[in-house]
């Protein structure tokens, strides 16, 4: 684990990570560096984030005009998306019309409500809400009554959502087009890792001056970590690690003496040591997070030695964007490993094996999917 730098030595990775870690240095970049950085940042969906940091530092005028124009364009787009989702939340609250349904706002919109440092320029398009299972139907019918619609549903969709994933299908108001995802769980119910949403809901905190809630700071970080390391394949997902790290620094700054301890205790209590371990580890490795290594040693649950080494090698290659002109085979392999891992985490073995066999079959005999695809 000591040879941290080795796996992130690709020059283009270094370029992007430097820009995130030291935005003030961007004024010294030459045109060639800018051209590559802009492409990488777009791929990582971090151009709005970089633009917001430059704007805040008053530096947009001190960089090459073409770079400034593109970053400015991304920032305008991000601001529009944030406004759209914010307005959607306004309309959802209106549609619920004083009914006593506590809404917990998750992810991007929550960051925006709290004005967290990672919110500025952040690109997100959906409104994610967490409610109790009992309130699910109430919300669905209130929104449907006020003009929201499910994406036109086939019988298959309907069954998929309601029986299989125990969620309601996403709701969209046709005049605004923002997707409203109302959840009553925090992870896919198919996953092996079961997360009880109740402690999260109980600890939620009210947003100042509003009748809505967000997860408390520790839970917000844990939720971010779970989404990053438990639910997905990590490809081009650096921005979520940036979210994690920015929020971590911010909350530590706000509660300097206690926050780290609270975070560890909460992770232990909720048995979410693994994803927190990885989030802390890679924040330090890739984003120069100053958090001490002692911190994750206090976790009850930690990944094993082999898993750590595999992840240490693979995760940076997956999280960081490929070079746009020189895709690397190593990165493709690393992404494959993580793809398999994400399926492993989501599916029990008796479902995973047939699934992978089938995928392999498809890769050998493409186009024969109809024979086996449907009726299994």
Contact residues toward another protein (CB under 8 A) are 30-32, 34-35, 38-39, 42-43, 45, 64, 66-67, 69-70, 72-74, 76-77, 79-81, 83-84, 86-87, 90-91, 94, 123, 125-126, 146-147, 151-154, 156-157, 159-160, 164, 169, 174-175, 177-179, 190, 232, 322, 324-325, 347, 351, 354-355, 358-359, 362, 366-370, 373-374, 376
Integer angstrom CA distances of residue 327 from 38, 124, 160: 17, 27, 36
- The residue among 37 and 272 lying less far from another protein, judged by its C-beta, is 37
Q: Is the distance from CB of 68 to CB of 60 less than 8 angstroms? A: yes
Tell the smallest beta-carbon distance from residue 290 to another protein (Å). 31
Tell the smallest beta-carbon distance from residue 145 to another protein (Å). 11
Q: Is residue 20 classed exposed, middle or buried when 0-12, 13-18 and 19+ CB atoms within 10 A define those classes? A: buried
Q: E strand or H helix at 33, and its extent?
A: helix 31-43
Q: Find residue 130's DSSP bridge partners.
A: 104, 183
- The residue among 73 and 261 lying less far from another protein, judged by its C-beta, is 73
Tell the smallest beta-carbon distance from residue 352 to another protein (Å). 8
- The residue among 265 and 371 lying less far from another protein, judged by its C-beta, is 371
Integer angstrom CA distances of residue 315 from 11, 133, 197, 285, 307: 17, 34, 27, 11, 11
Give the whole-angstrom CA distance, residue 248 versus residue 243: 8
Query: 3-class SS at 147?
Result: coil
- The residue among 32 and 208 lying less far from another protein, judged by its C-beta, is 32
Tell the smallest beta-carbon distance from residue 135 to another protein (Å). 23
Tell the smallest beta-carbon distance from residue 136 to another protein (Å). 19
- The residue among 166 and 262 lying less far from another protein, judged by its C-beta, is 166
Tokens standing for residue 206: 């009210």
Tell the smallest beta-carbon distance from residue 265 to another protein (Å). 33
**CA 234 to mean position of chain CA atoms:** 9
Q: Find residue 127's DSSP bridge partners.
A: 180
Tell the smallest beta-carbon distance from residue 255 to another protein (Å). 33
Give the whole-angstrom CA distance, residue 111 versus residue 118: 7
Tell the smallest beta-carbon distance from residue 121 to another protein (Å). 13
- The residue among 177 and 199 lying less far from another protein, judged by its C-beta, is 177
- The residue among 68 and 314 lying less far from another protein, judged by its C-beta, is 68
- The residue among 93 and 307 lying less far from another protein, judged by its C-beta, is 93
- The residue among 118 and 232 lying less far from another protein, judged by its C-beta, is 232
Tell the smallest beta-carbon distance from residue 54 to another protein (Å). 14
Neighbours of 168 (CB within 10 A): 20
Tell the smallest beta-carbon distance from residue 292 to another protein (Å). 35
Q: Which residue has the tokens 């929104």?
A: 143
CA-closest candidate to residue 286, choices 1, 20, 2, 11: 20
Q: Is the distance from CB of 64 to CB of 256 less than 8 angstroms? A: no
Query: 3-class SS at 182?
Result: strand
Give the whole-angstrom CA distance, residue 303 versus residue 95: 45
Q: Is the distance from CB of 43 to CB of 65 less than 8 angstroms? A: no
Q: Find residue 126's DSSP bridge partners.
A: 179
């Amino acid at each position: 684990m000591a040879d941290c730098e080795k796996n992130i030595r690709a020059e283009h990775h270094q370029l992007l990570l430097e820009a995130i870690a030291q935005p003030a240095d961007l004024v010294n970049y030459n045109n060639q560096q800018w051209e590559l950085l802009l492409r990488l940042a777009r791929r990582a969906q971090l151009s709005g984030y970089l633009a917001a940091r430059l704007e805040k530092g008053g530096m947009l005028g001190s960089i090459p005009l073409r770079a400034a124009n593109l970053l400015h364009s991304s920032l305008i787009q991000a601001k529009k998306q944030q406004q759209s989702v914010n307005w959607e939340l306004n309309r959802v609250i209106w549609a619920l019309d004083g009914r006593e349904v506590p809404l917990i706002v998750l992810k991007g919109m929550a960051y925006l409500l709290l004005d967290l440092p990672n919110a500025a320029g952040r690109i997100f398009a959906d409104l994610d809400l967490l409610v109790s299972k009992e309130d699910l139907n109430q919300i669905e019918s209130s929104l449907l009554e006020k003009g929201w619609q499910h994406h036109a549903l086939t019988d298959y969709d309907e069954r998929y959502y309601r029986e299989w994933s125990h969620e309601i299908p996403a709701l969209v108001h046709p005049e605004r087009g923002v997707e409203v995802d109302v959840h009553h769980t925090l992870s896919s119910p198919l996953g092996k890792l079961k997360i009880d949403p109740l402690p999260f809901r109980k600890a939620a905190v009210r947003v100042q001056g509003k009748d809505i809630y967000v997860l408390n700071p520790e839970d917000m970080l844990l939720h971010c970590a779970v989404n990053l390391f438990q639910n997905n394949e990590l490809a081009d997902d650096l921005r979520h690690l940036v979210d994690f790290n920015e929020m971590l620094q911010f909350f530590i700054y706000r509660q300097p003496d206690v926050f780290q301890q609270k975070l560890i205790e909460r992770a232990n209590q909720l048995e979410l040591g693994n994803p927190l371990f990885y989030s802390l580890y890679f924040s330090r490795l890739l984003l120069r997070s100053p958090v001490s290594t002692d911190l994750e040693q206090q976790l009850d649950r930690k990944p094993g030695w082999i898993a750590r080494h595999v992840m240490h090698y693979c995760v940076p290659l997956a999280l960081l964007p490929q070079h746009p002109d020189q895709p690397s085979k190593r990165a493709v392999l690393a992404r494959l490993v993580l793809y398999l891992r994400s399926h492993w985490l989501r599916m029990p073995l008796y479902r995973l094996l047939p699934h992978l066999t089938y995928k392999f079959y498809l890769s050998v005999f493409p186009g024969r999917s109809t024979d086996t695809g449907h009726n299994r």
